Structure 1
């Protein structure tokens, strides 16, 4: 599947251009912006927070960013958003735990002139802006790839994510629709990995208490691949089960040809594992903050912005040696294991945010693209 750039896709989707409430006259000091995070027990959210922080630092003359964490509880996030409005928020960037539960609080914020952006996981309140990945396309392509590698038959482990989020709901629905087309594919387990490597490993171990890898022909779901392949290797299995879809660097390293990185040690080493890596872009929050500043300054931005989506397989995996903008522009999409952890997410490139590169994702420091 070929992916259009964000501007073209927005146009095709008929995205309405909406004038933002102008706060320019009030902006004698930096805008008071809050980041409301939900579940943070995974690498993706940590990286996303780093990129938002880097974007705020790159705009330190315009933004005073405060970060709060609600956890996977919608009511607590509602209370946080209400408190942010009372504290004088001019913009709120939110990873919503639910697409609908926050709507009343978001509408209240908008009515008071607060600019609200949801990132990665969307909300349905019309006054809010959404910066998201096309989760249906992500899940459909990765599930079709896994089904094909299974020969459209056999037993499948279907790993789910954080329940209640629009990301998890949309992905699961789209992937199930794919696997349902093939009556000889049977989903034998649906563990929740919570988009966490540690949780995914525990969940897979529990599944294997009642079956074995000899009885499994495919694995699908975020954070499922590194742990499923690692468990197979620990069991002495050489022919690994095809898996999709996570964006971790560990998965992409394991997909590289065996021996292609000198000194790399198992399991964080190239083994030629059969996989497709597609993942939500961890820079969505950074894009949301940048666009929120635009709205605060009276500029027009689309109500929905789609993030880049790239499918990485062993055929197009390309190693980054430094993580420079030049390497990213040249198509590198896997980072040397000496640079980042296995759970670090490798899909950080985005031409729309030249302030946010490798150092931003890694340690929250902005960069300037030459």
Structure 2
């Protein structure tokens, strides 16, 4: 493979960021999103909470959950946090998580607090410390680094705080990782979003050609794993492919458009783009240059509208539903207790959308097979991947406002349900830099470091 990448950035990635994603081998994680009901019912809540309430009836807290509030109050203090980088994905994720805490059966038990963190590890460290000192029972957050905040997460855990990381992952063992980044997308036998996206691009390009690679936020586990698995796909499927140039798009469509425009001016013969979140900017730059070439991007409304209109591409990426799913995991740990068997490594299912499978969602809640909203209903950077099998109660209203529609009820997880989405141990090294008992470090079939049975 001929590569013209940034040596310094690659060195950072290779130094320790293979340890950053989660992939599951369970068949449950590849179920169609339509398998879950779009609207939860009142009956679901008491059925899921009965066992925990009985087990903890004598612990003195009003909800009867297994873990009593740290501060001894009438409610659990739960923080929902996202990055303050102005993108729609982060807003949808934090809104979906917030809406969970405001739904029955949680609303009578939870004091919800929402926060934003600036996009640097030092700010996040300070924020986590403040949340812990303020009496947090649970912190649900996106982690800016797989390792830099570990000590602070460990301090929170030691103080009795349940720490749940969504989308990105961390190596600190006490934290729960809730992520899609090395999952097998629905309909694929191969894990890793990056690998699948690059394989799709290679296929659309006929197996060869010169490409651009647009990153997200450098140093995050999400960007690291996508990039390394994409390179692995090139090595295995198109070793002569040439990466003309790369840039950090920072999960920002304006930045992606600016950088794509610059790259096109210097490399007009490019025949494909591997674009991270903000892919609408990559497509807008191509349209402005009157150049139609294959693009693999993430899940934005604009990109899927272009697919609906026939643009050659594949939409595959992060579901903001992970914010709501992570909130339910955190509340499940408080409800059932840390020793109930909830996995610390949970894989979130996600989908691949092409011009042949894009389908409009006509309603506020999920409709079978839908993956894009009608034009004008949401902004260019919003996404219909607020809907997910693990978040059947999601609604567009919740994603926009952080407040659920009246009458919508959360569907609490059972421990067994979460166990069915536990990460495959072969990928554990990628998220934790360690292998589970009975496994040792080795190479995965996709060419990345992982775990093999001893």
What TM-score, normalized by structure 1, do the two folds share? 0.85
For the Cα contact (< 8 Å) 2:181–2:226, is it kept in 1? no
The equivalent of 1:23 in structure 2 is 67
1:25 to partner: Cα distance:
6.9
Mapped to 2, the partners of 1:37 and 1:113 lie a distance apart of 22
Runs ≥4 in structure 1, deviation > 4 angstroms? 25-28
Identify if the C-alpha distance between structure 1 residues 167 and 112 changes in structure 2 by more than 3 Å, giving closer, same or farther.
same
The equivalent of 2:29 in structure 1 is 6
1:7 to partner: Cα distance:
9.4
Aligned counterparts, 1:66-215, within 5 A: 66-135=113-182, 137-181=192-236, 182-212=238-268, 215=269
Deviations 1:165-221 (A, max 9, x none): 100000000001112332331000101111111111111122223222xx0110002
1:93 to partner: Cα distance:
0.9
1:119 to partner: Cα distance:
0.6
Mapped to 1, the partners of 2:249 and 2:96 lie a distance apart of 24
Deviations 1:8-51 (A, max 9, x none): 9xxxxxxxxxxx99423766522111233335332211111111
Give the alignment's Cα RMSD to 1 decimal: 2.4
User: Paired residues, what number?
Assistant: 338
Identify if the C-alpha distance between structure 1 residues 360 and 220 changes in structure 2 by more than 3 Å, giving closer, same or farther.
same
Per the alignment, in what secondary structure is the counterpart of residue 123 of structure 2?
helix
Listed as ranges, the gaps of 5+ residues in structure 2 are 1-24, 32-55, 57-64, 183-190, 411-454
Mapped to 2, the partners of 1:4 and 1:114 lie a distance apart of 31
The equivalent of 1:302 in structure 2 is 343
For the Cα contact (< 8 Å) 2:169–2:178, is it kept in 1? yes
1:126 to partner: Cα distance:
0.7
1:224 to partner: Cα distance:
5.6
1:369 to partner: Cα distance:
6.8
Please point out which of 383, 387, 395 is paired with 1:345: 383
For the Cα contact (< 8 Å) 2:278–2:381, is it kept in 1? no
Listed as ranges, the gaps of 5+ residues in structure 1 are 9-19, 257-269
The equivalent of 1:241 in structure 2 is 293
Segment drifting more, 241-250 vs 314-323:
314-323
Mapped to 1, the partners of 2:293 and 2:373 lie a distance apart of 23
The equivalent of 1:261 in structure 2 is none
Per the alignment, in what secondary structure is the counterpart of residue 190 of structure 1?
strand
Identify if the C-alpha distance between structure 1 residues 102 and 369 changes in structure 2 by more than 3 Å, giving closer, same or farther.
same
